């Protein structure tokens, strides 16, 4: 049976399918974790532990000795995406109540949703698109883009926008596994080779536990609004990063468009943030459902937009910046959906 191949036909399938399975369990058998307990219960409710290991493994894929061009490309996209998300969040906070919109078509939209959806790039998608277009140097910018993964950058963004208050211990605690992974992966390439390929293995497990915290009705309800959110992220965020990539790095902007997506890991952010700052607890479930839909939409739309921009740039004679080819980091097959 081609179970894995079938799941992967769905954009972000290794994230989305387990999440829906978890939501099905929570909706129709909400006491499953308590009934079985033990390892089964831990697998359904152990989101924090799974994510800690996941972020450590992502950290090991980053080599701080990357070339100047790769660092400039990656940091431009990283900082640009985070600051843009903070700007969007701050503007939205002037119109959206702290508890999110409760009624009407936009019910479920909150500042947390907008920041989390805008804040994280789907690194695996970025890698795949860049490699497909033959841009190995741009693809290597993935190591910096990965820093966006997890709640740390969202907490920073909320703090920058003045929209959240987090104890310094909570912020540092989200960073330690990731920073430890970066340190060990940079010091020893064998550690990078060993832990890097494990990144995609953890995705279906934390997706299952996240789904178990959701009600299926909320996921269904988020459909149309989640699609609209996904289109907005791909077009607006991708457009802003295109401008940065064109005029800051001096490239043709294609990598910027490829970074205009939402990472599967962003689905975990609302509940992680709510655990640290209870003021976000009321919007965590609706935010998770909307972001899950957004992940699918951007996974489908971003490659089309990137390919179109690459073709358009070539027709207009806007070349990608030429860089001297050199070994950057050891090639690791990391696919983050």
Count of domains forming the chain: 1
Residue 157: how many other CB atoms lie within 10 Å: 26
In a domain, 333, yes or no: no
Tokens in use for 203? 């995705």
Domain residue limits at 216? 3-315
Q: What are phi and psi of 248, to 5 degrees?
A: -100, -50
In a domain, 139, yes or no: yes
In a domain, 330, yes or no: no
pLDDT at 198: 86
If we measure between CA atoms, which residue out of 214, 218, 274 comes closest to residue 48? 274
pLDDT at 330: 44
SS3 of residue 214 by DSSP:
coil
If we measure between CA atoms, which residue out of 296, 269, 248 comes closest to residue 51? 269
Chain position carrying tokens 């099905």: 24
In a domain, 325, yes or no: no
Q: What is the mean pLDDT of each run of 10 residues along the chain (337 residues)?
A: 84 75 88 90 84 82 70 85 88 86 85 89 78 75 70 73 66 79 89 88 82 73 86 94 91 91 82 81 85 84 89 84 46 45
- DSSP symbols for 4-30: HHHHHTSTTHHHHHHHHHHHHHHHH-T
In a domain, 55, yes or no: yes
pLDDT at 336: 44
Residue 151 CA: distances (Å) to CA of 169, 172, 307: 14, 11, 30
Tokens in use for 10? 């769905």
d(CA 116, CA 104): 22
In a domain, 321, yes or no: no
Tokens in use for 175? 């960073």
In a domain, 337, yes or no: no
In a domain, 335, yes or no: no
d(CA 72, CA 231): 27
pLDDT at 150: 65
**CATH number, residue 98:** 1.20.1530.20
């Amino acid at each position: 049976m081609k179970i894995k191949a079938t799941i992967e036909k769905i954009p972000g399938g290794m994230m989305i399918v387990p999440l829906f399975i978890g939501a099905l369990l929570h909706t129709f058998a909400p006491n499953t974790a308590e009934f079985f307990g033990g390892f089964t219960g831990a697998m359904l409710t152990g989101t924090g532990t799974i994510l800690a290991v996941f972020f450590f493994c992502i950290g090991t894929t980053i080599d701080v000795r990357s070339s100047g061009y790769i660092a400039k490309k990656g940091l431009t996209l990283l900082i640009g995406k985070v600051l843009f998300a903070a700007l969007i969040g701050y503007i939205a906070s002037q119109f959206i109540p702290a508890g999110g919109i409760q009624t009407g078509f936009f019910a479920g939209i909150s500042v947390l949703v907008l920041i989390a959806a805008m804040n994280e790039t789907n690194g695996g998608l970025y890698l795949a698109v860049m490699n497909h277009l033959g841009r190995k140097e741009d693809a290597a910018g993935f190591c910096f883009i990965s820093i966006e993964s997890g709640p740390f950058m969202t907490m920073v963004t909320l703090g920058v926008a003045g929209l959240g208050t987090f104890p310094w211990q909570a912020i540092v605690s989200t960073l330690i596994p990731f920073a430890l992974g970066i340190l060990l992966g940079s010091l020893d390439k064998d550690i990078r080779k060993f832990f890097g390929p494990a990144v995609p293995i953890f995705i279906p497990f934390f997706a299952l536990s996240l789904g178990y915290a959701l009600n299926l009705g909320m996921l269904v309800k988020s459909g149309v609004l989640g699609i609209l959110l996904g289109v907005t992220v791909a077009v607006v965020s991708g457009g802003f990063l295109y401008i940065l990539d064109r005029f800051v790095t001096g490239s043709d902007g294609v990598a910027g468009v490829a970074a205009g997506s939402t990472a599967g890991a962003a689905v975990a952010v609302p509940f992680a943030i709510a655990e640290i700052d209870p003021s976000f607890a009321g919007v965590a479930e609706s935010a998770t459902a909307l972001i899950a839909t957004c992940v699918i939409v951007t996974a489908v739309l971003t490659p089309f937009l990137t390919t179109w921009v690459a073709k358009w740039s070539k027709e207009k004679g806007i070349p990608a910046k030429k860089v001297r080819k050199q070994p950057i980091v050891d090639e690791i097959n990391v696919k983050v959906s």
